[in-house]
Chain A
Amino acid sequence: MRNSVTALLVLGIACLLPIGAWAQTSVTPGAGGDAQLARIAKLEQAVADAKSSGDNAWMLTCAALVLMMTGPGLALFYGGLVRKKNVLSTMMQSFALMAIITLLWGLVSYSLAFGPGNSFIGGLHNLFLRGVGGQPDPDYAATIPLQTFMIYQLMFAIITPALITGAFAERMKFSAMVAFMILWSIIVYSPMAHMVWGKGGLLNASLGGRFPCLDFAGGTVVHVTSGVSALVCALYLGPRLGYPKQSMPPHSVVLSFIGACLLWVGWFGFNAGSALSAGTLATSAFVATHFGAAAATVGWSVAEWWKRGKPSALGAISGAVAGLVAITPAAGFVSPMSAVAIGLIAGVVCFLMVTKVKSIFGYDDSLDAFGVHGAGGTLGALLTGIFAVSAVNPIFKDTQGNTLPSGLIEGNAHQLVNQLIGVAIAWILAIVGTLVILKLVDMTIGLRVSEDAETQGLDLSEHGEEGYYWESSA
């Protein structure tokens, strides 16, 4: 007992000694000054390292969450909505993009999106990820390795084309899909990402673009481009055989349900991660995302309940996704209650897009990529210009560094114009780019499978396998 007390005393004194030493240097000027400066520098470095490791941990987690949105999230969501005979081919499209876009990103498309370039597209400076290493790029994110930024942005580049696959589900050749997506990623995604988020981009709000368009996590870059391209694909390819006379209900809303839940969770990585750090901005985006999704679920469900008499599970999950889409550009700029407003509006508007507008025009956007992502993304981008407040994110500053108003509710009506410019550019780029690519692929590979193959189902005709093999229980 006495021994252990003595040991404790010795330990205590030993611990106090360095503090005494430090106290001494702090009162001694002159010779000790340099040591003190060195010590402070060391301390600052340690603080920076700690912050960097916290931010990096969060951003790597977010990158993984965003990948989870494509696989299994979107793959399940879309896979459940198609007919049994096309479940694997639909899921395979998302999964193939996880691999193909990754390689493309490393080769060229990262550089075209985020490398230094002109107002519209990045250059070839970062080809093969040259210069993308452990050093942060303060223009993008000062506290995380540029390589973390690169892999995080890659996950966005993957899910964006994967969203389009919902429009041409159940009828496009796999080879044509691969060719289309490679070209689309280069011609549409990279320029749009560069304009909104890249150095020197025309629409970049945080790096002094000509028309600063607020797009926190990809309302224009991800959802408008993919949704509008989806509409173009649906119109160009024409409807599925038998549409709309033959009934083609989802073969498993259960799969879609699980997919939608994974999307909701993954979206925290998508939106809160777009803060590119783990501070209060990430929290604010996280909260807005969640409230937006919840409000849109309620919005869609109430509209459906009122119009159809019953609130369906498919309606609830579609509403959640619509809300997540609409809050994507706004998260990180708006208060939680504004997020609720955006979500409610998006839930009702997307419900009408999917249930009314589609049948009026008669296009076969099979899984409603346009009705949810195109419409929700456009709506969200415009509402961001209304609801953005500088208290959440002081993004605009005058030359003296004073904070300027963000959105319309703070009196910055001009922001709505900039949002419109951003949306218009995304629409035009998506329409023109997609049309050109479709024409190219149509002339070379051909877009659609044969009628026989379509009737048989793409699982068998394109991949030689079945999602639900009927003898498998034997």
Chain B
Amino acid sequence: MTKVEAIIQVSKLDAVKDALHEVGVEGMTVFEARGHGRQKGHTEFYRGREYTVDLIPKVKLEIVLADEMVEKVVHAIATAARTGKIGDGKIFLSRIDEAIRIRNDERGENVL
């Protein structure tokens, strides 16, 4: 099993969700996140005082998949989330040892 963590632009969440449903992903967890990579923040002005916002709102998705799904899903996310500009985000993959369904203690890939 593989965990796909994707950090994307907030405005791309709907497009990514649609793309994931199309390739057959049935579950996901979404977090509202803040952060930045090489993309610099922006400045805001409140009554003339300048505030630098360097932690920019992002969305993080976590999906755990059977290994054969991974490439398809990565492609779907990358295509749907891409604007081509700096700040589009990242996708991280990692191994998952076990999955357990809380409802009935079922284990393994069936849980996904």
A-side residues, CB < 8 A to B, are 244, 247, 249-250, 253, 308, 310, 312, 314-315, 318, 351, 354-356, 358-359, 368
Contact partners of B46 in chain A: CB under 8 A: 249-250, 253, 312, 314
Question: How extensive is the interface on chain B, given as a class?
Answer: under 10
Interface residue ranges of B30-74 to A (CB < 8 Å):
44-49, 51-52
B45 near A310: Cβ-Cβ < 8 Å: yes
A249 near B44: Cβ-Cβ < 8 Å: yes
B48 near A355: Cβ-Cβ < 8 Å: yes
B48 near A247: Cβ-Cβ < 8 Å: no
Q: Report the minimum CB–CB distance from B70 to chain A (whole Å).
A: 33
Contact partners of A314 in chain B: CB under 8 A: 46-47
Additional 15 contacts, C-beta under 8 A, given A318-B47, A368-B47: A247-B52, A249-B46, A249-B49, A250-B46, A253-B46, A308-B48, A310-B45, A314-B47, A315-B47, A351-B48, A354-B47, A354-B48, A355-B48, A356-B48, A358-B48
A308 near B51: Cβ-Cβ < 8 Å: no
Contact partners of A351 in chain B: CB under 8 A: 48
B51 near A312: Cβ-Cβ < 8 Å: no
Q: How far is the CA of A354 from the CA of B52 in the complex (A)?
A: 19
Contact partners of A355 in chain B: CB under 8 A: 47-49
B45 near A247: Cβ-Cβ < 8 Å: no
Q: Select which of A249, A253, A310, A359 is within 8 A of B48 by beta carbon.
A: A359
Q: How far is the CA of A315 from the CA of B46 in the complex (A)?
A: 8
Contact partners of A312 in chain B: CB under 8 A: 45-46
Contact partners of B45 in chain A: CB under 8 A: 308, 310, 312
Q: How far is the CA of A354 from the CA of B44 in the complex (A)?
A: 16
| A355 nearest in chain B by CB position | B48
Contact partners of B48 in chain A: CB under 8 A: 308, 351, 354-356, 358-359
- Can you report 29 A-B residue pairs in the complex whose CB atoms are below 8 A from each other? A244-B49, A247-B51, A247-B52, A249-B44, A249-B46, A249-B49, A249-B51, A250-B46, A253-B46, A308-B45, A308-B48, A310-B45, A312-B45, A312-B46, A314-B46, A314-B47, A315-B47, A318-B47, A351-B48, A354-B47, A354-B48, A355-B47, A355-B48, A355-B49, A356-B48, A358-B48, A359-B48, A359-B49, A368-B47
Q: How far is the CA of A253 from the CA of B45 in the complex (A)?
A: 12
Q: How far is the CA of A338 from the CA of B44 in the complex (A)?
A: 35
Q: How far is the CA of A356 from the CA of B50 in the complex (A)?
A: 12
CB-CB nearest 7 A-B residue pairs: A355-B48, A247-B51, A249-B51, A354-B47, A249-B46, A308-B45, A250-B46
Q: How far is the CA of A315 from the CA of B47 in the complex (A)?
A: 6
Contact partners of B51 in chain A: CB under 8 A: 247, 249
Q: How far is the CA of A358 from the CA of B49 in the complex (A)?
A: 10
Contact partners of A358 in chain B: CB under 8 A: 48
| A318 nearest in chain B by CB position | B47
Q: How far is the CA of A355 from the CA of B47 in the complex (A)?
A: 6
Most buried by B among A249, A310, A312, A358: A249
Q: How far is the CA of A129 from the CA of B57 in the complex (A)?
A: 57
Contact partners of B52 in chain A: CB under 8 A: 247
Contact partners of B49 in chain A: CB under 8 A: 244, 249, 355, 359
Q: Report the minimum CB–CB distance from B84 to chain A (whole Å).
A: 26
Q: How far is the CA of A403 from the CA of B51 in the complex (A)?
A: 55
Q: Report the minimum CB–CB distance from B62 to chain A (whole Å).
A: 20
Contact partners of A310 in chain B: CB under 8 A: 45
Q: How far is the CA of A359 from the CA of B46 in the complex (A)?
A: 13
Q: Report the minimum CB–CB distance from B45 to chain A (whole Å).
A: 5
| B48 nearest in chain A by CB position | A355
Q: How far is the CA of A351 from the CA of B45 in the complex (A)?
A: 13
Q: Report the minimum CB–CB distance from A310 to chain B (whole Å).
A: 7
Contact partners of A250 in chain B: CB under 8 A: 46
Q: How far is the CA of A356 from the CA of B49 in the complex (A)?
A: 9
Q: How far is the CA of A356 from the CA of B45 in the complex (A)?
A: 13
